A and B are shown apart, each in its own frame.
Chain A
C-alpha cells in the first residue's frame, strides 16, 4: 500500500483541504486566471475555463509573469483563490502573493514545495488535507 502522507517544504504557511486539480501544463496566474470568477482564462491552456476556486492546485513547474503575485492576492480578496498550491519547483512569485494576502485579508493560502516524484503521485480529483507543518495527506490506495 502506498503511504498516505507526503512531506513538503512550507513556502507559504497555512492549513487547508480541497480537491486536487493537477494542471496539465504550467499556468501563469497573470493572464491565466480571472480573479473575478476564479476560472482559467488562458485560451491556450488545456484546462481553459476550469474553476480554480477552493481546489488544491498541483503545479509541476511555475511559469510566467511576475504580476501573478498580484493576481493571487486579488483572488484571495475576492474569495476566488485556490485552497492551496503544491509546487514541484521553488518559486518566489506565488508565496509572496500569499504572504501579502495573509497580511491584508487574514486568509492563508498554503504553498508547499514537494519532490517532483511525490507530486506525480497525486491523482487529479483526490481529496487532500494540508497541515501547518507541510504534510499532505491523501486517501490510501484502495481506501
Chain B
C-alpha cells in the first residue's frame, strides 16, 4: 500500500498514517472497524486540493465511514445566506468525500445514526471533538483525537497507530472531580447543568482523563452529549468517566483502574454559576433575533421534546427558531410526523451543517439564544453572534415571547 500499488492517493493516505505512528511513537498499526471524517468541512482551497489528490487512482475507504458536517445544507439549499461561490466550494468538498465511498451522514453526532455507531470496545478512527469524547466516554469504543486529513487517511488505510486511547492502560482516570456538597437540590434535574459542568470539566481537566463523581446514576445520553461537547470546547478532552453512568466507570475503582487518583478536586456551586453566566456574551437589554438549538445535532428525543415544549405555540414573528440535526434523524422525524409539526409551528430544521458554521441565520442586530455551551463558545468568533445561554425550556419560551425569558430554576440560589 505504501509503495503505491493500490493507487497514488491510497499510498499518500498510508504515508500520513505512518507519519502519525512516528509522531505518536507507535510500534505498529492496528485494524479499525469504522471511521468518522471531519475533513469534509471546507476550510479553504487546500482542503479541496487535498481531497482531489487523495482521490487520485480511485481511492476508496476501507471501512464503513460516516461524514461530519459540511458547509452547506444539501437538502435545504434555500437556507444559505452566504456567497454562492462559497456554497459551491463547500458542496464540491462534501461530494468529493462521498465519492471516496464515505456515507453522506453529514452530522457531528454520528452516534445517533443507525449503523454508524460503534460498539463497546471497538477500535475506530473518529474526528470531531464532541464525537470523539462521546465515542470514548459514553460508548466505550476507542479513538484518539483524529483531525482533518489523518481521519480519512486512517479510513483509507483501515488502520491506526497503536497508541494513546486505543490502549487500555491509557484510559484510566487521572483527575477525580467531585461535585460539591453546596449544589442546590434540583440542579441535577436541570438540563442546563450538564453543558455548564462540561465547560468546567474542560477547564479543570485540560488533556487529562477526568473522573466525575457525584452525578445521579444513569445520566441520559442527551445530557452526557451536552457535557462532553462543552468539555471538548473549553479543553482538549477526549475521554471522561462519570461514575455510575459511563461504561468504564461502574465504580470509582474501575474508573481509576484500581490506582489512586493523581489529584482530587471539588467543583463548587459558585464555580458552576460563574461558568453559566460567562456563556452569555450579549448585553442584558439586547433584543432577541434568533434561537438556535441542536448543537451537537439533535437526537430524535430532543426533536420530540421541542414539539412538546412548543405545545402548539409559534416563535414570535421577528425571531428565527432553528434546530440542527442529522438528515438520518430528520428522516425518522418525518416518519413519526414530528418534522411536519415543527414546520407547522414555524421552526426551521437545518441538516448537514450547523448554524455557527454556515451563514444561515438572518443577519441583523440582536442576540442569539442557545441551550448549547459549544454554540455559545464558538459562535462569537465564528459568526460574530452575541449569545445568551439558557436552558432548552428558556430558549423555547424566549422564542415564543420574542424576548429573553428566564424561568425559575435551581440556578436562582446563586
Q: Which listed segment binds B: A16-24, A59-67, A114-122, A126-134?
A: A59-67
Cα–Cα, bound, A96→B378 (Å): 24
Q: Of B15, B149, B151, which one neighbours A97 at CB under 8 angstroms? A: B149
Chain A residues lying within 8 Å of B148, measured Cβ to Cβ, are 66-67, 69-70, 96-97
Instruction: Tell me how far the C-beta of B399 lies from the nearest C-beta in chain A, rounded to whole angstroms.
Output: 28
Chain A residues lying within 8 Å of B149, measured Cβ to Cβ, are 69-70, 73, 96-97, 100
Contact with B along A103-127 (1 / 0, CB 8 A): 1100000000000000000000000
A76→B147 contact, CB < 8 A? no
Chain A residues lying within 8 Å of B43, measured Cβ to Cβ, are 30, 67, 70-71, 74
A92→B53 contact, CB < 8 A? no
Contact with A along B125-153 (1 / 0, CB 8 A): 00111000000000000001111111100
Q: Look across to chain B and name the residue whose beta carbon is closest to the beta carbon of A13.
A: B19
Instruction: Judge if B83 is at the interface, Cβ distance under 8 Å.
Output: no
A66→B147 contact, CB < 8 A? yes
A96→B129 contact, CB < 8 A? no
Main secondary structure of the interface of B (DSSP, over half): helix
Instruction: Tell me how far the C-beta of B235 lies from the nearest C-beta in chain A, rounded to whole angstroms.
Output: 9
Chain A residues lying within 8 Å of B24, measured Cβ to Cβ, are 90, 92
Cα–Cα, bound, A65→B39 (Å): 12
B46→A96 contact, CB < 8 A? no
B236→A99 contact, CB < 8 A? no
B20→A92 contact, CB < 8 A? yes
B150→A92 contact, CB < 8 A? yes
Instruction: Judge if B382 is at the interface, Cβ distance under 8 Å.
Output: yes
B145→A92 contact, CB < 8 A? yes
Q: Of A42, A70, A93, A99, which one neighbours B47 at CB under 8 angstroms? A: A70
Within 8 A of A (CB), among B97-151: 127-129, 144-151
Cα–Cα, bound, A73→B149 (Å): 10
A77→B378 contact, CB < 8 A? no
Instruction: Tell me how far the C-beta of A74 lies from the nearest C-beta in chain B, rounded to whole angstroms.
Output: 4
Chain B residues lying within 8 Å of A68, measured Cβ to Cβ, are 147
Cα–Cα, bound, A96→B45 (Å): 17
Chain B residues lying within 8 Å of A85, measured Cβ to Cβ, are none
Instruction: Judge if A88 is at the interface, Cβ distance under 8 Å.
Output: no
Instruction: Tell me how far the C-beta of A55 lies from the nearest C-beta in chain B, rounded to whole angstroms.
Output: 20
Instruction: Judge if A95 is at the interface, Cβ distance under 8 Å.
Output: yes
Q: Of B39, B46, B146, B382, which one neighbours A101 at CB under 8 angstroms? A: B46
Interface size on B, residues (CB 8 A): 34
Instruction: Judge if B16 is at the interface, Cβ distance under 8 Å.
Output: yes
Q: Look across to chain B and name the residue whose beta carbon is closest to the beta carbon of A71.
A: B43
Known: A63-B236, A64-B236, A92-B23. A69 touches B45 (CB 8 A): no
For A30, A64, A103, which residue has the most chain B Cβ atoms within 10 angstroms?
A103
A99→B16 contact, CB < 8 A? yes
Q: Look across to chain B and name the residue whose beta carbon is closest to the beta carbon of A36.
A: B44
Instruction: Judge if B73 is at the interface, Cβ distance under 8 Å.
Output: no
B15→A67 contact, CB < 8 A? no
B147→A95 contact, CB < 8 A? no
A66→B145 contact, CB < 8 A? yes
B39→A70 contact, CB < 8 A? yes
Chain A residues lying within 8 Å of B25, measured Cβ to Cβ, are 90
A70→B44 contact, CB < 8 A? yes
Chain A residues lying within 8 Å of B23, measured Cβ to Cβ, are 11, 90-92, 95
Contact with A along B34-77 (1 / 0, CB 8 A): 00001101011111011001000000000000000000000000
Q: Look across to chain B and name the residue whose beta carbon is closest to the beta carbon of A65.
A: B129
Chain B residues lying within 8 Å of A95, measured Cβ to Cβ, are 19-20, 23
Cα–Cα, bound, A104→B56 (Å): 12
Instruction: Tell me how far the C-beta of A99 lies from the nearest C-beta in chain B, rounded to whole angstroms.
Output: 5
Instruction: Judge if A43 is at the interface, Cβ distance under 8 Å.
Output: yes
Instruction: Tell me how far the C-beta of B375 lies from the nearest C-beta in chain A, rounded to whole angstroms.
Output: 14
Instruction: Judge if B381 is at the interface, Cβ distance under 8 Å.
Output: yes
For B15, B38, B43, B144, which residue has the most chain A Cβ atoms within 10 angstroms?
B43
Chain A residues lying within 8 Å of B381, measured Cβ to Cβ, are 31, 41-43
Instruction: Judge if A35 is at the interface, Cβ distance under 8 Å.
Output: yes
Known: A76-B46, A101-B46. A67 touches B378 (CB 8 A): no
A74→B46 contact, CB < 8 A? yes
Instruction: Tell me how far the C-beta of B77 lies from the nearest C-beta in chain A, rounded to whole angstroms.
Output: 23
B53→A96 contact, CB < 8 A? no
Cα–Cα, bound, A95→B16 (Å): 10
Instruction: Judge if B256 is at the interface, Cβ distance under 8 Å.
Output: no
For A12, A65, A91, which residue has the most chain B Cβ atoms within 10 angstroms?
A65
Cα–Cα, bound, A97→B16 (Å): 10
Instruction: Give 5 closest A-B pairs by Cβ, nearest first.
Output: A66-B147, A74-B44, A70-B43, A74-B46, A73-B46
Interface residues of B (CB under 8 A from A): 12, 15-16, 19-20, 23-25, 38-39, 41, 43-47, 49-50, 53, 127-129, 144-151, 236, 378, 381-382
Given contacts A31-B382, A74-B43, A90-B23, 6 further A-B contacts (CB under 8 A): A43-B381, A70-B148, A73-B46, A90-B25, A92-B145, A96-B147
The 5 sampled A-B contact pairs (Cβ below 8 Å) are: A31-B378, A73-B149, A92-B147, A99-B19, A103-B53
